[in-house]
A and B are shown apart, each in its own frame.
Chain A
Amino acid sequence: MRPVVVAGVGMIPFERRDEDSLVDMLAMASWNAIEDANLGDRSVDAVYVGNMASGLFNHQESVASALVDRLSLMPAAAERIENGPASGGSAVKNGFLGVASGYYDIVLVVGGEKMREVIGPKATDVVACMTHPEAEYIYGVTLPALAGMFARLYMDKYNITQEHLAMVAIKNQENGLLNPYAHIQMKITMEGILTHPQAHINSPIVADPLRLYDCCPVSDGAAAVLLTTEEIAQKLKKPLVKIAGVGQATDTHTLQERSDPTDLKAVRIASQQAFKMAGLKPKDIHVAELHDAFTILEIAESEHAGFFPMGKGAKALADGETRIGGKLPINPSGGLKARGHPVGATGVAQIVELVWQLRGEAGERQVKDASNGFSVNFGGFGNNVLAFVLRREA
């Protein structure tokens, strides 16, 4: 396989974007990535669009075909990649394979979702369509419900408290304040969301034990990366950030079929694959973007990816190890919790953030001397997970 380099990255602010269509957003993020790479007269060979549910959210299909036309990239190949909330990660993986295999030289990967076109309950329902139709969905199971049940089990098993969950929310919203692309720009406090006698009114229960501030917002947004070969990238005069490791693993569709529902096996296996391919270990990582759609997931993924022993992630969090300036900053972008989670965009946005971090372009949220980054994009409820290791070449 040929080495694959991220030559350009681009995003648009995640938020509620009433005025922009899905294709508008994908196009804006794409142009930002193309401009960042400064491709000159080189052409894009293929476009992969990570998107979960444009049909249900926006009544539009074949968005990849629409996007190449909008960008005037014809006759580039174009496909939409769907893998639930890991659609973005899957699109990056497919783009990676296209370049690594030698089939394409320059691939544009863009992820996006326009979720705010529908009301909140409808958005929750659309996302719930990825649950098992007969074993889960018909019983009213939603992703917050699955996360709530998972959180209860995980908290009981590893002595994790509501305070730990709130710490994730507080940390990531603080980080979001440093990220102009983040949807949520608001500092929150333990008193305001948990310990004040009336905090339950500010942060009501969504799915016990998860409260409002334990959940990511519903966002619109898009992010893009331009992948190419080392040879081409060297001519583009950008710091070389390679996709050094890629992992993907699946698990049972339903949570109930897992022998231990607290074991995020797909996260563990995908992470191990990515580290093995990169020739690195968790201790070599300087910055991580984890899929904190719900606060409990940041803690659980940090353990399953191998950064902390099982049951020790919450302590690391409480000790400040995962803050910017800590031993392993997690979600300096604000994560899904603050940056937002337009489902198809998330996996790509994680790569964009890592590239900014590894290039030293992350502004106020820059993690000092970061040269190795890691991400987890969590599909379904952990049934289809992607992990990436990015490395900046000296």
Chain B
Amino acid sequence: MDMDIEIYLRPPEMETPPYPPKVITLATGKPMVVRQVDRDAVPILLNAVKPTLDIERDYYDIVGARVYAELLGWYRYRVRDEFCLIGQIDGLLVGIVNTRSYSPTVDVSLHTLAIERGLRIGAHLFAAKMEYSIEYLGRDEVLITAESPIGFRRWMIEYGLEKRDGQHELGGATPYALTRALYFRNKDRLVAGERPVPPELMEVAEREIIVASEDDILEKILGAKRRVTQ
């Protein structure tokens, strides 16, 4: 690679403190480890994102395509100041969230991709990335949009987000803001997790990011119809 030109193509990066991992006890009673991953994890994550590109339901295809591009862009140094958190149950990847920092005071929430559904995994991971932006990165607010009605209900309505002027960088939709005040008002109700993560759980999570098969991912997202004829 010709680094003489590459250094001009790569956006600069802010120094940020890491996200301390946490564990959330799900409705199943199983612990989900939520942790930050770095660029090295991206090729594995893309294997989980790829099957969603063909799923129209709940705009998974659009979300999947954009997450794919955002992660790939981050991996190859074409996205500025992105962070990515994942959720794992017994090592299995069950969800991915990402955000981009716009300035030292404002983050832009990118996407929430739940691979396992029906356990509030998307909601838990969304809350985790808000926690990172507000509590650990010290942002004043996070700009948010939603691509699906479910996302709109989960974020805009459940958190009571404030509407903002202008355009969100994801397609120019109306941005909504989670302010520090809104975050702390909702924290007890919506932000779960305990720290530190027990070492044995962390060891399993870090040993390998297990990605379900394409069929399993489709069944998890599309539901029972794939199990029984009709």
| Chain A interface (Cβ < 8 Å from any Cβ of B) | 12-18, 28, 32, 119-120, 180-193, 196, 198-204, 213
Asked if A201 contacts B230 (CB within 8 A), the reply is no
A selection of 17 A-B contacts at a CB cut-off of 8 Å is A13-B228, A16-B223, A18-B57, A32-B230, A119-B153, A120-B153, A186-B27, A186-B119, A187-B28, A188-B27, A188-B29, A192-B25, A192-B28, A196-B25, A202-B26, A202-B27, A202-B192
Nearest CB in chain B to that of A213: its residue: B27
Interface residues of B: mostly helix, strand, loop or mixed?
Answer: loop
Q: How large is the interface on B (under 10, 10 to 19, 20 to 34, 35 or more residues)?
A: 20 to 34
A to B contact number (C-beta, < 8 Å): 75
Contact residues in B for A14 (Cβ distance below 8 Å): 224
Beyond the given A119-B153, A189-B29, please list 5 additional residue pairs across the A-B interface where CB-CB is below 8 A. A13-B225, A28-B230, A182-B224, A189-B27, A201-B190
Contact residues in A for B190 (Cβ distance below 8 Å): 201
Instruction: Name the residue in A120, A180, A201 with the highest tally of chain B Cβ atoms < 10 Å from its Cβ.
Output: A201
**Complex-state Cα separation, A200 to B186, whole angstroms:** 13
With beta carbons under 8 angstroms apart, the residue of A32, A183, A192 that contacts B27 is A192
**Complex-state Cα separation, A201 to B119, whole angstroms:** 11
Contact residues in B for A187 (Cβ distance below 8 Å): 28
**Complex-state Cα separation, A120 to B152, whole angstroms:** 13
**Complex-state Cα separation, A182 to B119, whole angstroms:** 16
B189 close to chain A: CB less than 8 A: yes
B1-57 with Cβ < 8 A to chain A: 24-30, 57
Nearest CB in chain B to that of A185: its residue: B224
With beta carbons under 8 angstroms apart, the residue of B26, B118, B193 that contacts A184 is B118
**Complex-state Cα separation, A181 to B228, whole angstroms:** 7
**Complex-state Cα separation, A213 to B29, whole angstroms:** 13
**Complex-state Cα separation, A180 to B230, whole angstroms:** 11
Instruction: Name the residue in B24, B30, B149, B224 with the highest tally of chain A Cβ atoms < 10 Å from its Cβ.
Output: B224
B120 close to chain A: CB less than 8 A: yes
Asked if B224 contacts A180 (CB within 8 A), the reply is yes
Contact residues in A for B191 (Cβ distance below 8 Å): 201
Contact residues in B for A18 (Cβ distance below 8 Å): 57
With beta carbons under 8 angstroms apart, the residue of B27, B30, B118 that contacts A193 is B27
B227 close to chain A: CB less than 8 A: yes
Q: With A180-B227, A181-B224, A201-B189 as known contacts, state yes or no: A186 contacts B29, CB within 8 Å.
A: no
Asked if A180 contacts B27 (CB within 8 A), the reply is no
Contact residues in A for B153 (Cβ distance below 8 Å): 119-120
Asked if A15 contacts B29 (CB within 8 A), the reply is no
Contact residues in B for A199 (Cβ distance below 8 Å): 25, 27
Contact residues in B for A189 (Cβ distance below 8 Å): 27-29
**Complex-state Cα separation, A192 to B124, whole angstroms:** 14
Nearest CB in chain A to that of B25: its residue: A196
**Complex-state Cα separation, A166 to B129, whole angstroms:** 30
**Complex-state Cα separation, A182 to B120, whole angstroms:** 19
Shortest Cβ gap from A114 to chain B (Å): 14
**Complex-state Cα separation, A188 to B227, whole angstroms:** 21
**Complex-state Cα separation, A109 to B178, whole angstroms:** 51
With beta carbons under 8 angstroms apart, the residue of A16, A191, A213 that contacts B25 is A191
**Complex-state Cα separation, A13 to B230, whole angstroms:** 7
With beta carbons under 8 angstroms apart, the residue of B28, B57, B124, B189 that contacts A188 is B28
Asked if A192 contacts B225 (CB within 8 A), the reply is no
Asked if A192 contacts B29 (CB within 8 A), the reply is yes
Contact residues in A for B57 (Cβ distance below 8 Å): 18
Asked if B189 contacts A204 (CB within 8 A), the reply is yes
Shortest Cβ gap from A171 to chain B (Å): 15
Contact residues in A for B149 (Cβ distance below 8 Å): 119
Asked if A15 contacts B27 (CB within 8 A), the reply is no
Q: With A32-B230, A181-B228, A198-B192 as known contacts, state yes or no: A15 contacts B223, CB within 8 Å.
A: yes
Shortest Cβ gap from B32 to chain A (Å): 11
Shortest Cβ gap from B39 to chain A (Å): 31
Contact residues in A for B192 (Cβ distance below 8 Å): 198, 201-202
